Structure 1
């Protein structure tokens, strides 16, 4: 999870951009993160099979973008891109069969300067429709979600607002109520869907938007995967004060108590509800892997500690550890039969319940929050320059004898390389009728249940939790 803290501080900052100028038309060289955030899914996933992007450029107002490509014949090419009538960047001019990168750059920069001189900023492609406008308020003041208001109004979240705004020309609202819900009581659920959408684009999936359910119908390498999104929601609406106050952290004893039974029951409710929907009976789902993607928004800071409860519930087992006489770490699986909290009691082992064999896996992340969008936006160059983000947290220690995670801390800048998939996990169903191939999701953690124990394969950097502190820089002359 990403907690938030906003403070005023006085710091001097400087920025640097590499640029090229001819006849007073300046073309800037930008990094891949910025280019990717702007073009979004305009990229064709299969383009990577025939060419590699090597350099990226924009004019002053980013009305024209350019990219240099190296193809499989070791020849260079280039593509210019501009916004279509919906607001999506689309390719409209190309160069190819160029012997070296320098000549490709010369041609591309010349073309971008030529186009910029015309003053053209929209490059029609003949498409109809318009982009979703998340920030044009359509609900009443009393219905506005507190975090949506902060996202709209506060410079602290301008990086998140900027990158979300660039996603909207590409986003398809199947249900027709995305904007309404994003602005009001459905903010958490819709933000989770937007996060998943960004991750699936990053993972080079193609989208089939012709079906209203499940939420995502994806294709990759000829394999179709259907994914339904859900959350552990709040029992009552968040107040303005709750959106601003960090709150007292739970003690270790309180976390342990909640993790054993309360959280498995909380996870179990939406997961069981999705199981009863029987999506696998839809013709477009039948015979393909069906995955449920879940996140926990039930309380402030809950993502900092609730994640271990999910695999315990899914597999009906938890783990204790101890060191043997030689100092080697030993993991002991303990079977869980049931979870009981207050008046509610449920069986453990979601993957072993009736009809659960139709659920191929469960995806989970505790990072699908507004802070994630803020960091991804900041490293891509969006937002107010006087807002500083500092991320701190815990990540996995790959030492096989390590019983505790490592700590990390860094300032989020253009040099950061966080991905949308960072911190995401896929828990595979050992009884799945249609298993998911881990190679379709190469950037995330994968967990399996083998011989009564959970076996995990984690990326080199795998954060368990983090907080994002927001520092607002103020001018000492004002």
Structure 2
């Protein structure tokens, strides 16, 4: 299938296609993409046009096709839908591709400048991506219910949604954090400094049960923590599947490419992160590096995880009985990776590309998160013996009320800053520059503890 011969005018071409089709800039990378497309069937005779005009969704399909071949799956293209009908050494399954894209009126992922990164907040990146991934997954689930489930070649087979985000500039920084929130309502481990230099101790975990789309509009998370999405067997994901992946797999080109990122250290002796910086061809990366499979414990037709075991793939799961999120990461797993091509500014092809993508468009932005004043909200999670955590904003303070699981009584903490998550609260509470309060007594109910800590805040306000 020829995907590179232009069939639309240049002004209709997607910026990424316009970049990789510039003579001399992406010649080795073009060979990788052509290899991915080898054997791919264009069933509706519009794939090449979509690759050139919208790019990301077509790029993702080609990547998935290459991954399935790498996983020794055979693909049946004899049916018009869904995207992939697969036979693996461990059984048949169905896979449907989708991407999480930027909301209408928001900045697209390709319109970025490295200087913008200084103004970007990770929590904002995660919140937007959580909203967009949630939408992408639920839309495909609805499509399965209304259409795919009625097809004879789909029925009684595991159904896997393959999703990746292209929803904003620097989308690649969020790893799988947003998707884990969407599926398992899990936020992150709670970590404190240890007694030795550089030592970090995991003391618990925080949860994320909803995401705020805009003030007053909260969307529940945790799609795989109940049977509501039992038709979906798993989610396949890779936030490292970008043009940097193509560059990592390509041979040497006209200009050097520098790769930097981190890999997991997982052994009996050590668990940690190993950072790297390497120039092509010294950087080593595989097609499957950075892939995730996220299993649904409530699936009607579970997929056999052996398809993905023993490879460069992280396997996520959830135990409903213990309400536990589980993650199995292989040694050397690719956590993060970005790249930079050292192309001179005088390169005519690059100058032409930059001129074609220059923009003065004013974009919409995600509205700031706002919590209702004086409303105690359940946030869950666990910090040592403390559980049943609740948080509230009150008079510019953030209050955390927790249950001591041993003595079954309640206490409260407060910090004089607005926090929107348990980890941010812990960070503020350990900051010597931020005023904090705590109750000296333990009380029988969360309401009693909340009232008592508010009284301490009111007393300070009156004194000041």
For normalisation by structure 2, the TM-score amounts to: 0.66
Count residues with an aligned counterpart: 335
Check if 1:292 corresponds to 2:158: no
8 Å CA contact 2:193, 2:200 repeated in 1: yes
Question: Which residue in the other structure is 1:332 paired with?
Answer: 204
Q: Give the equivalent residue in structure 1 for 2:114.
A: 246
8 Å contact from structure 1 (residues 159, 375) kept in 2: no
Structure with the bigger RCO (C-alpha within 8 Å, sep 6+) is: 1
Question: In structure 2, do the counterparts of structure 1 residues 221 and 471 end up closer, same or farther at CA, with 3 Å as the change threshold?
Answer: same
Tell me the equivalent position of 2:91. 223
Q: Distance in 2 between matches of 1:237 and 1:138?
A: 27
Residue 212 (str. 1) matches residue 77 (str. 2): no
Cα gap change, 1:243/1:134 in structure 2, threshold over 3 Å: closer, same or farther?
Answer: farther
After superposition, residues 52-63 of structure 1 pair within 5 angstroms as: none
- Match of 2:58, SS state, is helix
Aligned to 1:363: 236
The residue number in structure 2 matching 1:372 is 245
Task: State the distance in 1 between where 2:63 and 2:33 align.
Answer: 10
Q: CA deviation at 1:355?
A: 4.2
Q: Is the 8 A contact 1:160 1:371 kept in 2?
A: no
Separation (CA, whole Å) in 2 of partners of 1:347 and 1:420: 34
- Where structure 2 has 5 or more consecutive residues not aligned to the other structure, the ranges are 346-464
Please report how far the alpha carbon of residue 241 of structure 1 lies from its aligned counterpart in structure 2 after TM superposition: 11
Secondary structure, aligned partner of 1:350? coil
* 1:161 matched to 2:30: yes
Contact 2:129/2:167, CA 8 A, preserved across alignment: no
Q: Deviations over 1:20-53 (max 9, x none)?
A: xxxxxxxxxxxxxxxxxxxxxxxxxxxxxxxxxx
- C-alpha offsets along residues 149-199 of structure 1, whole Å, 9 cap, x if unaligned? 110114332221122223444221123211010000x20111011111111
1: distance between equivalents of 2:47 and 2:61?
10
Check conservation: 1:333, 1:452, Cα contact below 8 A. no
Question: Counterparts of 2:326 and 2:314 in 1: how far apart (Å)?
Answer: 11
1:232 and 2:100 matched: yes
> How far apart in 1 are the matches of 2:90 and 2:275?
40
The CA deviation at 1:257 is 4.2
Provide closer, same or farther for how the CA distance between residues 168 and 341 of structure 1 changes in structure 2, counting only shifts above 3 A.
Answer: closer
**Superposed, which structure 2 residues align to 1:239-318 within 5 Å?**
242=110, 245-250=113-118, 254-259=121-126, 261-278=127-144, 279-305=148-174, 307-318=176-187
Q: Structure 1, unaligned stretches of length 5 or more?
A: 1-131
Deviations 1:178-221 (A, max 9, x none): 1010000x201110111111111111111111122221111112
Distance 1:165 1:353, change over 3 A: same
1:283 CA displacement: 1.5
